[in-house]
């Protein structure tokens, strides 16, 4: 605890009043010996108490008091009635008020801290909502793009059926012969194993001549499973094989997943 906080805590007043425990008195005494500021504060409190006590002392000297008794005809010493000193509750009331003030300040601080936490939580939630909104916007654009491809009447739709390695697989190719653009709808293909990728081939049938027109990269991340691949001007069929990551120069026919004729 810093000196100012320690002095303002009120423990030094209790020390001077003699209201501390023996352990607390020892602690204050030790701090006063090692810290001039605390020691000076104790001296100041003691001086204040002495000054306060002096202000209540009688103004008449002993000789004046005796002359007054003679004039009043008091020859015998009056009986002194011992009165028990009244206990002052002012220090206790002061400290009680201080305690209540500290409790109030603590409560206000707690409320402020809660308010700050709510602001932080609200900001975090806002960022989260903004990210979700951006994700939805991107997904909406992807859906609109996919629908535009499917609805384009200029596209030739080629259905690719499952082959021996994966008879349940399927895919569709949307090929615009005028622009030569090719899109692949791979929603009928299973997720490729780790370290493998689907490769798309444009085929000439006689003689059989495969030409790679692209890989279906980021398969899992593409929610729509619609991929744009390289353009082709002339194809009689399309096939999709499963190849090692990075693709192959020629198709692995044992891993031919789908095939379809134009």
CATH number of the domain residue 209 falls in: 2.60.40
pLDDT of residue 38: 82
Same structural domain for residues 160 and 256?
Answer: yes
pLDDT of residue 83: 46
Same structural domain for residues 164 and 240?
Answer: yes
Distance CA 66, CA 64 (A): 5
Q: Which residue, of 105, 133, 151, is where some domain finishes?
A: 151
Over residues 199-205, the mean pLDDT reads 95
In the sheet with 196-205, reading across from the earlier edge strand, the strands are: 208-215, 196-205, 237-244, 256-261, 156-162, 170-175, 182-185, 226-229
Would you say residue 76 has pLDDT above 80? no
Q: Which residue, of 151, 184, 201, is where some domain finishes?
A: 151
Radius of gyration over every alpha carbon of the chain, rounded to an integer in angstroms: 48
Number of other residues whose CB lies within 10 A of the CB of residue 238? 27
Same structural domain for residues 202 and 138?
Answer: no
% of the chain exceeding 90 in pLDDT? 39
Would you say residue 41 has pLDDT above 80? yes
Q: Which residue, of 83, 116, 141, is where some domain finishes?
A: 83
Least confident of 91-105, 154-168, 170-184: 91-105
Tokens, residue 221: 């991340």
Same structural domain for residues 146 and 189?
Answer: no
207 phi and psi angles, rounded to 5 deg: -75, 165
The 3-state DSSP class for residue 171 equals strand
Q: Which domain holds residue 22?
A: 3-83
Over residues 56-78, the mean pLDDT reads 53
Same structural domain for residues 65 and 94?
Answer: no
pLDDT of residue 160: 96
Would you say residue 217 has pLDDT above 50? yes
Q: How many structural domains is the chain composed of? A: 3
Distance CA 56, CA 60 (A): 12
Same structural domain for residues 146 and 173?
Answer: no
What pTM did the predictor assign? Answer: 0.49
pLDDT of residue 203: 96
Over residues 220-229, the mean pLDDT reads 92
């Amino acid at each position: 605890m810093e000196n100012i906080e320690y002095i303002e805590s009120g423990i030094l007043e209790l020390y001077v009043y003699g209201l501390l425990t023996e352990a607390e008195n020892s602690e204050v005494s030790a701090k006063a010996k090692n810290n001039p500021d605390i020691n000076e504060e104790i001296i100041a409190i003691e001086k204040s108490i002495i000054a306060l006590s002096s202000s209540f002392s009688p103004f008449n000297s002993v000789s004046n008091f005796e002359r007054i008794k003679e004039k009043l005809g008091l020859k015998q010493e009056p009986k002194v009635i011992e009165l028990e000193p009244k206990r002052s509750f002012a220090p206790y009331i002061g400290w009680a008020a201080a305690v209540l003030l500290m409790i109030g300040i603590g409560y206000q601080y707690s409320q402020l801290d809660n308010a700050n936490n709510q602001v932080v939580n609200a900001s975090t939630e806002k960022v989260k909502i903004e990210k979700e909104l951006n994700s939805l916007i991107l997904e909406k654009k992807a859906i609109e793009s996919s629908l535009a491809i499917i609805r384009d009447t200029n596209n030739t739709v080629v259905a690719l059926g499952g082959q021996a390695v994966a008879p349940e697989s399927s895919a569709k190719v949307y090929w615009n012969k005028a622009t030569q653009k090719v899109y692949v709808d791979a929603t009928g293909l299973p997720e490729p194993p780790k370290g493998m990728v689907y490769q798309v081939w444009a085929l000439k049938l006689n003689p059989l001549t495969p030409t790679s027109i692209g890989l279906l990269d980021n398969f899992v991340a593409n929610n729509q499973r619609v991929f744009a691949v390289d353009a082709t001007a002339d194809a009689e069929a399309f096939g999709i094989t499963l190849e090692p990551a990075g693709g192959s120069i020629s198709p692995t026919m044992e891993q031919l997943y789908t095939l379809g004729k134009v």
